[in-house]
Homo-oligomer: A and B are copies of this chain.
């Protein structure tokens, strides 16, 4: 894959890291960044994450063979549709949103011939902004690439190759499978971390140690971005939350009835799951 011009829409942590990785690995000859915040643009240019910036989405995508959208999940579909309406039919559009089903449905119903392939690199963090971007962010990480009945096989192959060239491994699944899985592995954890941080009585701030900080770390994520994610994946998150509530109910019953043998078994089963994930 040799991309003449790669356009990155939204040059933050993920977009900036794509720019740096694409540069270091020679994936694209020229990188164009579409970003409305002047300070991000200046930083991205200085850091070398992009070669050139633009405020004009359609002009910037017209110059590219491949455009990757790294904007909040509630902006991606409209941006892809705007791009698809002006670009040649063979342009490839990739996104990096944390939800996939609604974005994909919206794009496919309005622009059925657009070469769009959804993606989600599992490489984020509670940090944001191009100042945290890293050229090796995707190395040894997994990117989920989504396929539907409408996805063109060569577009899927091109998108898969793109992520692999950035250092990531790739798993292909449907947008709905992605959203159901991420409800458990990312969205529910965010909700829980937020709940736990949110109820901490202020006088206890000094009595938190590394355990509390680990458990609540992702609650520092951007509330706007996360509200959009929850709105997109509402049903799957509610399902995951119901499963969690059932488990919390079991744990509460153990405490209420002093059933320490069952509590021990539940803690042990969870420890085995956690141990298997590594540090």
Chain A residues within 8 Å of B, Cβ to Cβ: 122-126, 141-142, 144, 171, 181-182, 184-186, 188-202, 204-224, 226-227, 230-231, 234, 237-238, 240-241, 243-245, 247-248, 251-252, 254-256, 258, 260, 263-264, 266-271, 273-279
Which one of B124, B204, B240 contacts A211 once the chains associate, using CB atoms below 8 Å? B124
Query: Is A251 touching B200 in the complex (CB atoms < 8 A)?
Result: no
Residues of chain B contacted by A266 (CB below 8 angstroms): 194, 198
Contact check: which of B123, B142, B227, B279 meets A267 at CB < 8 Å?
A: B227
> A276 with B189: in contact, given A223-B271, A251-B195, A263-B227 (CB under 8 Å)?
no
* Chain B: minimal CB distance from A118 (Å): 15
Cα–Cα distance between A188 and B207 once the two chains are bound (Å): 14
Q: A206-B171, A215-B218 are in contact. Are A198 and B142 (CB under 8 A)?
A: no
Q: Chain B residues near A213 (CB, 8 Å)?
A: 277-279
Residues of B contacting A204 in the complex (Cβ-Cβ under 8 angstroms): 181, 184-185
Among residues of B, the one whose C-beta sits closest to the C-beta of A209 is B122
How many monomers of this chain does the complex have?
2
Q: What's the Cα separation between A226 and B263 when bound, in Å?
A: 9
Question: What B residues does A255 contact at CB under 8 A?
Answer: 230, 234, 237-238, 241
Q: Are A273 and B197 in contact, with the CB atoms below 8 A? A: yes
Report B-chain residues with C-beta under 8 Å of the C-beta of A264.
223-224, 227
Q: In whole angstroms, how far apart are the Cα atoms of A79 and B273 in the complex?
A: 34
Decide if B247 touches A142 in the complex (CB within 8 Å): no
Provide the residues of chain B in CB contact with A208, threshold 8 Å.
122, 185, 277
Our pick among B198, B231, B268 for the contact of A223 (Cβ within 8 Å) is B268
